Homo-oligomer: A and B are copies of this chain.
Amino acid sequence: MLAVTILGNNSAVPAFDRHPTSQVVTLGGENFLVDCGEGTQIQMINYKIRRSKISHIFISHLHGDHYFGLVGLINSFSLLSHQQELHVFGPSPLQEIIEMQIRVADTKLCYPLHFHTISGAATLVNNERIEIKCFPTQHRIECYGFSFHEKKKPRKLILESVKENNIPLYFYDNLKNGEDFITSVGEVIKNEWLTIEAPKGKTYAFCADTRYNESMIEHIKDADLIYHETTYLDNFRERATERFHSTTKQAALIAQKAGVKKLLVGHFSSKYDTLEEFEAEAREIFPNTELALEGVTYKV
């Protein structure tokens, strides 16, 4: 299952009832925190996200609305006697900023904290279940999007056929990996009679802060879900470009060109009190668009 829970959907200045960027991505049975604006840990309490379940945090860039809550969260993990390792991925000066604040407070963290500096397009995490990559966006400062790929699961046994054909237990894993079975008398029992294909792994992409940027498309192509910023409605297209942000229709166009299945839009400018128009405008180009609303979990 792929799920994205929005903790903050606003751009730089917090608005009444809207917080800066942060979201929890659930994929392959794990939770990943993406960006960590001020107040993220309080939002995690509000929306009952168990802090102990987070062991990877990805920071897109060093504008405050995307990371000012990070040092507080790192601190609280320690005060709450978090035990497991924490991995933080972000652009280069992040480590120094965090470590300085830990140092001046004379804090000894009670768990291992690992920083990973990101740069260019790269694979950040790669295990049996999942692959997580970063890719550069076009923003005023160095900024990265993140894509989350659930790996294809092993094939599923058709237990009835497996028993009928007397396949020995030791060969089950080979079946799951797609092998045919050959009996002692040389008879080939085709894998496709014994197993069915597992559903394709899900893919999610967080496109961070960016101006309209087609070079991003290759990194998010065919995703099941993407989150793309829409700081402005489309009549502010010029301002968006100037400030390295996107409009509703620009986000929708990226979603369309990348052939993704669903688009979530967020990072709304504080100048907007209501959000309905964001959805309406984006849907003109990409109908399967939803607003990223705080506290809501979007499941695929």
Q: Does A106 contact B (CB under 8 A)?
A: yes
Q: Which of B45, B62, B68, B141 touches A68 (beta carbons < 8 Å)?
A: B68
**What is the distance, in angstroms, from A288's C-beta to the closest C-beta of chain B?**
32
* Residues of B close to A75: CB separation below 8 A: 12, 64
- Name which of A45, A46, A101 has the most chain B CB atoms within 10 A of its CB: A101
Say yes or no: A45-B106 contact (C-beta < 8 A), given A69-B38, A75-B64.
no
* Residues of B close to A93: CB separation below 8 A: 100, 104
* Residues of B close to A101: CB separation below 8 A: 62, 64, 68, 97
Considering the complex, give the chain B residue whose CB is closest to the CB of A270.
B79
* Residues of B close to A96: CB separation below 8 A: 100
Chain A: number of interface residues, binned into ranges: 20 to 34
Q: Does A80 contact B (CB under 8 A)?
A: yes
Q: Is the CB of B105 within 8 A of A64?
A: yes
Q: Does A19 contact B (CB under 8 A)?
A: yes
Q: Is the CB of A104 within 8 A of B62?
A: yes
Question: How far is it, in angstroms, between the C-alpha of A79 and the C-alpha of B71 when the chains are bound?
Answer: 22
Q: Is the CB of B12 within 8 A of A79?
A: yes
CB-contacts of A1-32 with B (<8 A)? 12-16, 19
Q: Is the CB of B68 within 8 A of A64?
A: no
Q: Does A41 contact B (CB under 8 A)?
A: yes
* Residues of B close to A13: CB separation below 8 A: 76, 79-80
Q: Is the CB of A12 within 8 A of B68?
A: no
* Residues of B close to A46: CB separation below 8 A: 16
Q: Is the CB of A38 within 8 A of B104?
A: no
Give this chain's copy count: 2
Q: Does A153 contact B (CB under 8 A)?
A: no
CB-contacts of A200-239 with B (<8 A)? none
Q: Is the CB of B140 within 8 A of A106?
A: yes
Q: Does A72 contact B (CB under 8 A)?
A: yes
Q: Does A63 contact B (CB under 8 A)?
A: yes
Considering the complex, give the chain B residue whose CB is closest to the CB of A68.
B72
* Residues of B close to A64: CB separation below 8 A: 71-72, 75, 101, 105
Question: How far is it, in angstroms, between the C-alpha of A13 and the C-alpha of B38 when the chains are bound?
Answer: 14
Question: How far is it, in angstroms, between the C-alpha of A141 and the C-alpha of B101 when the chains are bound?
Answer: 13
Q: Mark A65-106, 1 if CB is under 8 A from B, else 0.
A: 100110110011001100000000000010011001100111
* Residues of B close to A140: CB separation below 8 A: 106
Q: Known pairs A38-B72, A62-B105, A97-B97. 6 more at Cβ < 8 A?
A: A16-B46, A38-B41, A38-B42, A68-B71, A97-B101, A106-B141
18 pairs from A and B in contact (CB 8 Å cutoff): A13-B80, A15-B45, A16-B45, A16-B46, A38-B38, A38-B68, A62-B104, A64-B71, A64-B72, A64-B75, A64-B105, A68-B69, A68-B71, A68-B101, A93-B100, A93-B104, A97-B101, A105-B141
The 6 A-B pairs with the shortest beta carbon distances in the complex, nearest first, are A38-B72, A39-B39, A93-B104, A62-B104, A13-B79, A68-B72
